[in-house]
Amino acid sequence: MSKQYEILAEHLTERGIDVEWVKSKLKTQHIETPSWGYGNSGTRFKTFAYPGAARDVHEKIADAAMVNKLTGVCPTVALHIPWDKVKDWEELRQEATDLGIRLGAINTNTFQNDIYKFGSITHPDPKVRRKAVDHHLECIEIAKVLGSNALSLWYADGTNYAGQDSLVGRRHRMIESLAEVYAAMPASMRMLIEYKFYEPAFYHTDLSDWGVAYSLAMQLGPQAVVLVDTGHHPQGTNIEHIVATLLDLGRLGGFHFNARKYGDDDLIVGTSNPFELFLIYHELVNAGDAAKDVAYMIDQSHNIEPKIEAMVQSVMNIQSAYAKALIVNRKALAEKQAECDVLGAYRELNAAFETDVRPLLEQVRIEMGIDPDPIHALHASGYEAKIAQQRGIADAGGSGYPTAD
């Protein structure tokens, strides 16, 4: 136990914070990492290959297991189909189990084939919609074998020009397509519906914001929920307000965490907007049991940075935001809000945000039996050098993603 931690713990106790409760919450935090973040995935333009980047799903799972070993809070890894497709799913599930992790959300892909040029589940041609729906049904079957209870959906569907297609017609096709997918899901599975206000469709996207995603979820049923990607919003959007509203409505399904400066930049979460990330977690802590089923997933493209170190840094930034949200003096904050003490309430929040929680997180890791500094532990392990020598440098092109079936 460090002197810095003892000082911080004493300070938090004086502020009315139950330090043991905070530590228990941090120890049970669950962050899902994405398989695609370990390979040579990248931006819309050039993808730069990195020595040792995972070349297939087996290497991705191994790297995800390493991140979990270093951080202690990443027991699952999301898969993307068909990027991570294998012949024997039972074998892959056992492989993950042997490495100490599980396979998480199954992400569909209906945005790479030429046939989806004008849409997938909203396409005017029923044959194209049939192909897209069949892909979803295949993903459900894969999820069943893997023990996954989450089907994660994102679409590039939309139009580039006014008059290109019927906006209402596309909406009806989307509802009809997803109703069939929804009906095929087992009772334990949730459909996480992601939205994006632009790109690659520039006149309109069929799932453009949280309201459109929410209305779709309400039409489909209680197993359909909204997924918030923190990079998928116009400049200046109050994401924490969206989070609070969806929590209150009981339809916040999860997150794809990343950071943005201009568009959907897919940067390391918490790098350009740490206060926003803190405020999001503040709303999640405020929600209590209403947030118990929220899925916390990372969705980033590590293009110029080391893959595994970038993922560890992402996890640490999320841990920091959560720790700061947990130490907000909510009783004092509520009193300031009731008194309409605007600046007093702000200062209560800011006091938690400006607190250096590193000694707290280091103590939590020590009590979990892992290195208090995951980045140092990664460098000391020699893992990156080993996989660079074993794997070499894999090819990387345009988007860095393999072509869909």
Strand pairing report for 150-153 and 102-107: parallel
In a domain, 379, yes or no: yes
Question: What pLDDT sits at residue 398?
Answer: 38
Judge whether residue 160 has pLDDT over 70: yes
Which residues have C-beta within 8 Å of that of residue 141, sequence separation ≥ 6?
none
In a domain, 11, yes or no: yes
Structural contact between residues 361 and 319, judged by C-beta atoms closer than 8 angstroms:
yes
* 326-377 pLDDT tens trace: 999 999 999 999 999 999 999 999 999 999 999 999 999 999 999 999 999 9
Q: What mean pLDDT comes out for the span 78-83?
A: 97
Distances (CA, A) of 10 to 13, 16, 320, 350, 354: 5, 10, 19, 19, 17
Structural contact between residues 348 and 329, judged by C-beta atoms closer than 8 angstroms:
yes
Question: What pLDDT sits at residue 303?
Answer: 86
Can you tell me which residue has the tokens 């916390």? 296
Domain span at residue 68 reads 3-391
The DSSP result for 236-296, as a single string, is: T--HHHHHHHHHHHT-EEEEEE-B-SSSS--BPTTSS-HHHHHHHHHHHHHHGGGGTT-EE
Question: What pLDDT sits at residue 399?
Answer: 43
Question: What pLDDT sits at residue 396?
Answer: 57
Helix pair angle (374-381, 383-391), 10° resolution: 50
Taking the model in full, what pTM does it have? 0.95
Task: Enumerate helices (H) and strands (E) in the chain, giving the number of each.
Answer: 15, 10
Question: What pLDDT sits at residue 395?
Answer: 66
* 213-262 pLDDT tens trace: 999 999 999 999 999 999 999 999 999 999 999 999 999 999 999 999 98
In a domain, 364, yes or no: yes
CATH number of residue 116's parent domain: 3.20.20.150
Question: What pLDDT sits at residue 401?
Answer: 53
The rounded percent of the chain whose pLDDT value lies above 90 is 91
In a domain, 286, yes or no: yes
In a domain, 177, yes or no: yes
In a domain, 405, yes or no: no
Which has the closest alpha carbon to 122: 183, 184, 169, 192?
Answer: 169
Token duo for residue 230: 């923190």
Q: For residue 250, count CB atoms less than 10 angstroms from its CB and return exposed for 0-12, middle for 13-18, buried for 19 or more.
A: exposed
Question: What pLDDT sits at residue 400?
Answer: 44
* 278-327 pLDDT tens trace: 999 999 999 999 999 999 999 998 889 999 999 999 999 999 999 999 99
Q: What confidence tier does 44 reach under pLDDT thresholds 50, 70, 90? A: low
Domain count, the chain: 1
Strand pairing report for 204-205 and 158-159: antiparallel
Q: Is 34 left (phi over 0), alpha (psi -120 to 50) or beta?
A: beta
Q: Say what the alpha-carbon torsion angle 268, 271, 274, 280 is, to the nearest 10 degrees.
A: -20
In a domain, 400, yes or no: no
**How remote is the C-alpha of 350 from its chain's centroid?**
25
In the predicted model, what is the mean pLDDT of the chain?
95
Residue 52: strand, helix, or coil? coil
* 352-366 pLDDT tens trace: 999 999 999 999 999
Question: What pLDDT sits at residue 20?
Answer: 97
In a domain, 195, yes or no: yes
Other Cβ atoms within 10 Å of 1 Cβ, number: 11
Judge whether residue 18 has pLDDT over 90: yes
Is the pLDDT higher at 209 or at 44? 209
Judge whether residue 21 has pLDDT over 80: yes
Which has the closest alpha carbon to 309: 22, 10, 52?
Answer: 52
Token duo for residue 128: 């194209």
Strand pairing report for 295-298 and 204-205: unpaired
